[in-house]
Amino acid sequence: MFGGIDPALLISALMVASVPIILAAIGELVVERAGVLNLGVEGMMIMGAVCGFILSVQTGSAFMGFVGGAVGGMAMALIFGLLTQYLLANQVASGLALTLFGLGLSSLMGQGFVGIRPPATGAVPFGPLADIPFLGRVLFSHDWVVYLSLASVAATWWVLRSTRTGLILRAVGESHDAAHALGYKVRKIRMLAILFGGAMAGVGGAYISLVRVPQWTDGITAGAGWIALAIVVFAAWRPWRALIGAYLFGGISVLQLNLQAAGARIPVEYLSMSPYLITILVLVIMSSGRGKAALSAPASLGKNFHASR
């Protein structure tokens, strides 16, 4: 016990609280590594949340809900992809429009689903493992999406670092002209990355409406997509740092609520401020001296590509 708070409960709570942000951030990280800046994460998340909710209520299966979430997010991403990759629309404007569109459309679609409870997503049965003191509570008491989020971080890290696919993706993001000259299909690769980002954001959104707050309410994501975007920058486009960033954000927000509930005499304002202070601090440290190179964004980030140019 620390200040009246059980660390095992705290860690397990922060792992759950961070899942939507991790999923969305990993998706966006891959998109940005391919040189596309999609600011519509919030819109894709909320569409994932509503599509997932509707599908899981209709089918009675929580798993189908997550599939629905991925499809909803991908549908939104497809619109963004067509606009920016084929019609060469401005990426920043299209992304912002996607968020506004998603918020409105999800509210319309969710009209008939207010006040319904979705099927429950239970914890994965680990049997005796869940009874191990401390570790059991922290590691073996979650639903499958928590493990999916961790697996997605590891898989993305491995793919980006050690596979040919990752190399091509990064090449497209660093210099689309060079990648094109080598014969890679820049537009196709970017479209696939955008769809992946949409699916991940959609699953993250579905996690909010199906597990964290099992209900549908307008505007349920309440800015989680923007935090995911910030975490990608915080992580300097590296998967494991994105995980750390998400746990830091999720952890401190859960910690401050727990400290309040436990009656600790720490002013709430300082705790609410701390994730942002730490972000600034990390950025300052990373952008000074030797670490500077590691901070650099993909060179073609946000630039549209057309073969004739």
Partner 1 sequence: MNRRTLLATAALGLGLAFGGSASAQGLDKVKACFVYVGPIGDLGWTYQHHQGALELVETYGDKVEIAFQENVPEGADAERVLTQMALSGCNIIFTTSFGYMDPTNNVAAKFPDIKFEHATGYKREHPNVSTYNARFYEGRAIQGHIAGKMTKTNKIGYIGSFPIPEVVMGINSYYLHAKKVNPDVELSVVWAFTWFDPAKEADSAKALIDQGVDVIASHTDSTAPLAEAAKTNGAVIGFGQASDMADYKPSPRVSSIIDNWAPYYVKRVGELLDGTYEQVDSWAGIPEGEVEIGEITDAVPAEIKAEAEAMRDAIAAGTYHPFTGPINKQDGSVWLAEGAVAPDGDLLGMNFYIEGISGEIPK
Q: How far is CA 287 from CA 237, 243, 283, 284, 296, in A?
A: 14, 20, 6, 5, 9
Please state the closest distance from residue 211 (CB atom) to partner 1, in A.
Answer: 10
- Residue 123 binds partner 1 (CB under 8 A): no
Among 58, 165, 272, 287, binds partner 1 (CB under 8 A): 272
3-state helix, strand, coil in the chain (%, to 5): 75, 0, 25
Among 93, 100, 114, 307, binds partner 1 (CB under 8 A): 114
Please state the closest distance from residue 131 (CB atom) to partner 1, in A.
Answer: 19
Q: Output the six-digit token pair for 4.
A: 């009246």
Among 218, 244, 279, 297, binds partner 1 (CB under 8 A): 218
Please state the closest distance from residue 109 (CB atom) to partner 1, in A.
Answer: 11
- Residue 164 binds partner 1 (CB under 8 A): no
- Answer whether 44's CB lies under 8 Å from 199's CB: no
Please state the closest distance from residue 282 (CB atom) to partner 1, in A.
Answer: 23
Which listed range, 37-45, 82-90, 169-177, 220-228, lies at the site for partner 1 (CB under 8 A)? 220-228
CB closer to partner 1, 97 vs 254:
254
Which listed range, 27-35, 105-113, 165-173, 182-190, lies at the site for partner 1 (CB under 8 A)? 105-113
Which listed range, 38-46, 151-159, 195-203, 249-257, lies at the site for partner 1 (CB under 8 A)? 249-257
Give the position of tokens 């307008």: 218
Distance (Å, rounded) from C-alpha 251 to C-alpha 253? 5
Residue numbers 2-21 binding partner 1 by CB under 8 A: 4-6, 9-10, 13, 17, 20
CB closer to partner 1, 10 vs 89:
10
Among 1, 115, 284, 289, binds partner 1 (CB under 8 A): 115
- Residue 258 binds partner 1 (CB under 8 A): yes
Distance (Å, rounded) from C-alpha 277 to C-alpha 258? 20
Please state the closest distance from residue 221 (CB atom) to partner 1, in A.
Answer: 8
Please state the closest distance from residue 150 (CB atom) to partner 1, in A.
Answer: 20
> Count of CB atoms within 10 A of residue 188's CB?
11
Distance (Å, rounded) from C-alpha 292 to C-alpha 125? 45
CB closer to partner 1, 132 vs 262:
262
Please state the closest distance from residue 169 (CB atom) to partner 1, in A.
Answer: 31
Nearest residue to 156 via CA among 30, 22, 295, 299? 30
CB neighbours of 55 closer than 8 A, spacing ≥ 6? Answer: 64, 65, 67, 68, 69
Count Cβ neighbours within 10 Å for each residue of 107-132 and write b for 16 or more, e otherwise.
Answer: eebbeebeeeebbebeeeeeeeebee
Nearest residue to 254 via CA among 73, 12, 89, 32? 12
| Residue ranges binding partner 1 (CB under 8 A) | 4-6, 9-10, 13, 17, 20, 107, 110-111, 114-117, 208, 212-215, 217-224, 253-254, 257-258, 260-263, 265, 267-269, 272
